[in-house]
Structure 1
Amino acid sequence: MGTGSGGGGRGWRPSLVTWAAAACVLIGTGLLSYTPAASWLHQYSQSRLIESYNQQLLAESAANRGEVPSPDEALGAARRYNEQLQFGALVEANTHVPTGAGDETGSEYWSLLNGPAEIMSRIRIPDVDVDLPVYHGTADLTLLRGAGHLRGTSLPVGGASSHAVITAHRGLAEASMFTDLDRVEVGDRFTLETFGEVLVYEVQQTQVVAPEDSQALRAQEGRDLVTLVTCTPLGINSHRILVTGERILPTPEEDRAAALKSSELPRFPWWALLSIGTVLATIGFVWRAGYRDARPAE
């Protein structure tokens, strides 16, 4: 008489080694995907915010309800502020950002260029995929939202003998911001959009300086300058990257045409396809390995 087979052992039962290998792959994929995913989501959030800002600015200006000043009024007040400002700026040691030291007597900094969502301007650096709102001041909470304008320096409206300073974080896990500012080269361009005014700057100088060296942040007679500032090296923040641009006049027509348009960021997340592919491949591996592991011993 024959004996029973005991059920044949053909069920799906992945071994402990299979589960461990799959877990390692999935955890590794998650860790590697976190930074690009967080940065992509931050860029998406910033692009929606900028689009909302543009739409509100246009709508409020057209309606002339007085909830925000008209572009001419806002820009005029900002230029008067710049004329009164006795420029000064200091990049203090052991701090993440520079601090202003200008004389603002007779001016109300926080009320100037106070647009929708408290945004004063927009900065775009196409060569390194930067498109950020610019807010008043450089407080920690401000710099988690976007770029900050250094109080005590010229407001970002251009003009002879003006020098605006804009700063942003570098190396945040959840946002790229000015992380790639070290890749900007002399001859590259960046653009400020302030209450509909388009200001295009060509990079004249890039340098790394000690925190106490603020000479490069001073206004220069007759020149229209903007300096972008962030910390370096990543994670140490002992020095500052300074990228200084001088305004191009007349403003290039293609830049005027791009004013108040939606952000081109974030770009398509190719990294997500790789992550999804890895997850699907891991699932397929566990599925097949489970049947192989469940085969009865010969």
Structure 2
Amino acid sequence: MREDSSQGRRGWRPNVLAIIIALVGLSGLGVLLYPSTAAWWSQYHQSQAIEAYSSSVIEDAPPGNELELGRAREYNQLLGSGEVVVGSDSHKPTTDLERAQAIEIDGIGYWDLLLTRHDTMARLKIPSIDVDLPVYHGTSDATLERGVGHLQGTSLPVGGTDTHSVLTAHTGLAKATLFNNLNKVEVGDTFTIEVFGDVVTYRVTETRTVLPSETEAIRLRSGEDLVTLVTCTPLGINTHRYLVTGERITPTPIADIEAASEKPDIPGFPWWALVGATGIVVVSAYVWRSGYPPKRKSTSASTEDATAPTKGH
């Protein structure tokens, strides 16, 4: 009797095949979740940068902010209509940097204008595509991986007649969305730039796809106050540039002013974490269940079944 009960006992033993299947499944889940996970973390860090920038601007309230804005506007006047060139072998526009770097306001050059201790120049919001990104000086690769870059040699994004600021960001990065949906922005949509306590709003007047050599769309236009958003297209090929140009709305809409310095509402809930946790639980349950052999009938029960008299005899 003791021997029979020991044979019926079901101890857990690792099932090698089940473990291999589980590892393959988890690897596949990781590959599927990586883009959304990386994008979420990227948005989280961008939101942290925006909050730090907003706090810095509040602490450096006028006259400090007004002084910075005044210097930026004077820089724009001196900059004028410098040439803008988009090299055919480049993924971003370039400008007459020698001329731009020579301009100083009160002994301060481009890299120190609109500079906060958090290294953020401004904040760009495009409501129609849920974009809320920090803007940085320059367009180096390191800068464009963090957020939006301001093209040195174009107007600083503080608004004003006879200005045309160019802001650029990547499309198609595996770890960040950035300007991935810029092609969904339509004429009539608006975007705002928050800069040192000021808010400037632009209404989209045109969108276009151009060759790298076609630069007239991002040059200064006399008497106008413009901002152009630039990214590469098509995705992964990058042979053209996609441009979204907006013209300043004056006065700035009250709603945009009231929304200034609000905390970013992105990233949202990390659904990737919930999906990942669910996948791990399911795979773990599968491995655990596979470690138990199928339940077998006891020897005594089998013997009784075999020796039991058949009805009718």
Structure 2 CA distance for partners of 1:295 and 1:14, relative to 1, 3 Å: farther
Does the 8 A contact of 1:94 with 1:238 survive in 2?
no
1:53 paired residue number: 53
Q: Distance in 1 between matches of 2:278 and 2:188?
A: 40
Counterpart AA for 2:71: A
Does the 8 A contact of 2:15 with 2:287 survive in 1?
no
Does the 8 A contact of 1:143 with 1:168 survive in 2?
yes
Residues 115-152 of structure 1 deviation map (CA, whole Å, 9 limit, x = unaligned): 23121111111222221111111111221222110011
Shifted more, 277-286 versus 220-229: the winner is 277-286
2:280 paired residue number: 279
- Give the TM-score, by structure 1 length: 0.90
How far is the alpha carbon of 1:267 from its aligned partner? 1.0
Structure 2 CA distance for partners of 1:7 and 1:123, relative to 1, 3 Å: same
Structure 2 CA distance for partners of 1:4 and 1:193, relative to 1, 3 Å: same
Q: Distance in 2 between matches of 1:240 and 1:106?
A: 28
2:93 paired residue number: 98
How far is the alpha carbon of 1:3 from its aligned partner? 6.8
How far is the alpha carbon of 1:234 from its aligned partner? 1.9
2:12 paired residue number: 12
- Give the TM-score, by structure 2 length: 0.86
1:192 paired residue number: 193
Confirm whether residue 80 of structure 1 aligns to residue 74 of structure 2. yes
Let me know the Cα RMSD of the aligned residues. 2.2
Q: Distance in 1 between matches of 2:2 and 2:71?
A: 100
Counterpart AA for 2:20: A
Residues 74-94 of structure 1 deviation map (CA, whole Å, 9 limit, x = unaligned): 111111111111322111112
Counterpart AA for 1:83: Q
Q: Distance in 2 between matches of 1:126 and 1:106?
A: 34
Q: Distance in 2 between matches of 1:206 and 1:60?
A: 36
Residues 33-71 of structure 1 deviation map (CA, whole Å, 9 limit, x = unaligned): 111111111111111111111112211337x7xxxxx11
How far is the alpha carbon of 1:96 from its aligned partner? 2.0
Shifted more, 96-105 versus 149-158: the winner is 96-105
1:67 paired residue number: none
Once the two structures are superposed, the pairs formed by residues 15-164 of structure 1 within 5 Å of their partners are: 15-61=15-61, 70-87=64-81, 88-101=83-96, 103-104=99-100, 105-107=102-104, 108-164=109-165
Structure 1 vs Structure 2: percent identity of aligned residues? 48
Does the 8 A contact of 2:103 with 2:110 survive in 1?
no
Residues 6-34 of structure 1 deviation map (CA, whole Å, 9 limit, x = unaligned): 74461223533322221222111111111
Counterpart AA for 1:35: P
How far is the alpha carbon of 1:218 from its aligned partner? 0.9
5+ unaligned residues in a row in structure 2: which ranges? 299-313
